[in-house]
Chain A
């Protein structure tokens, strides 16, 4: 396996996805969950741009990446607002304590 741009980009995508997934699995902090989600979306954007750069369709990959960034920012805003409201209502940021929402 030669260390071309495409391979390095793919290694970055796989590594970032792994780091984000691990944080998503082990953390109990709501705000940390949003951080993990952000890391995984950054991996997706890197994958789009790297694929576009390798296949010579940078402009198409850029337009797709912009859509992903917008959606990701909206998700981050909503997630953080949810975390703030949970903290206000329940006094905690622990995901485990949200089980009291059960009916």
Chain B
């Protein structure tokens, strides 16, 4: 019981540090800490598969994605004050948390029925549609990513345009010079 409380507290501390961190990279690493602490909690609750997935996807893949994105986008440290004033944000959060805690706590310990079949049987048997939805989601995600990261067709390159203008001016100057020479010959 104490271990549960300690791990949940660790996850909360990591989450608070993640939103307090000045640098985005630090924030992403604290987020990985939240994932790691929660995956141990999941393991202790008997959800072994979710624990492994959370540790590998939440603490691994997503962190790598964050580091990658922060490297490309760069750190942007100077920000003006938030759009929502802080006291209002605090009031909203306290109201939301209070309502949620009031409706969800305390939990009565339900009687535990017999454990059902294996994870694979439930996932493929009862929740087969979910798997289909996941496949569609991943497909849509990949397509969206390709669409977003595709290089947009650049407008006419400035240097090329200027080069063309310079060439045209040269040709015009040569033409005028020839006209002047022809006039001199005629005179």
Residues of chain A touching chain B, judged by Cβ–Cβ distance below 8 Å, are 1-23, 25-29, 31-32, 34-36, 38-39, 42, 45-46, 49-50, 52-67, 69-71, 73-74, 76-78, 80-85, 87, 92-96
A73 touches B106 (CB 8 A): no
Cβ contacts B125-154/A at 8 Å (1 or 0 each): 011001001100110110011001100000
Q: Contacts A2-B106, A9-B8 given; indicate if A78 touches B141 (C-beta within 8 A).
A: yes
Residues of chain B touching chain A, judged by Cβ–Cβ distance below 8 Å, are 1, 4-5, 8, 11-12, 15-16, 18-19, 24, 27-28, 31, 34-35, 38, 41-42, 45-47, 49-50, 53-54, 57-58, 61-62, 65-66, 68-70, 72-74, 76, 79-80, 82-84, 86, 89-90, 92-94, 96-97, 100-101, 104-110, 112-119, 121-123, 126-127, 130, 133-134, 137-138, 140-141, 144-145, 148-149
Most chain-A CB neighbours within 10 Å: which of B15, B90, B122? B15
Q: Report Cα–Cα, A28/B68, bound state, in Å.
A: 20
B66 touches A18 (CB 8 A): no
B107 touches A54 (CB 8 A): yes
Q: What would 25 A/B residue contacts be, using CB atoms closer than 8 Å?
A: A9-B4, A12-B12, A17-B96, A25-B84, A25-B92, A31-B27, A35-B28, A38-B62, A46-B42, A49-B41, A52-B45, A53-B47, A56-B115, A58-B46, A59-B121, A59-B123, A60-B127, A62-B49, A65-B47, A69-B53, A70-B134, A74-B140, A77-B65, A78-B144, A80-B66
Please name all residues of chain A whose beta carbon is closer than 8 Å to the beta carbon of B130 when the two chains form the complex.
63-64, 66-67
Q: Report Cα–Cα, A70/B19, bound state, in Å.
A: 23
> Can you name the residue of chain B whose Cβ is closest to the Cβ of A34?
B66
> Can you name the residue of chain A whose Cβ is closest to the Cβ of B92?
A25
A35 touches B18 (CB 8 A): yes
CB of A103 to closest CB in B, whole Å: 19
CB of A4 to closest CB in B, whole Å: 5
Please name all residues of chain A whose beta carbon is closer than 8 Å to the beta carbon of B46 when the two chains form the complex.
53, 58
Q: Report Cα–Cα, A82/B93, bound state, in Å.
A: 27
Q: Report Cα–Cα, A71/B36, bound state, in Å.
A: 19
B79 touches A84 (CB 8 A): no
Please name all residues of chain B whose beta carbon is closer than 8 Å to the beta carbon of A56 when the two chains form the complex.
110, 112-116
CB of B84 to closest CB in A, whole Å: 5
The listed residue (B68, B83, B96) touching A18 by CB distance below 8 A is: B96
Q: Contacts A14-B97, A25-B93 given; indicate if A93 touches B34 (C-beta within 8 A).
A: no
Q: Report Cα–Cα, A55/B5, bound state, in Å.
A: 20
Q: Report Cα–Cα, A82/B41, bound state, in Å.
A: 32
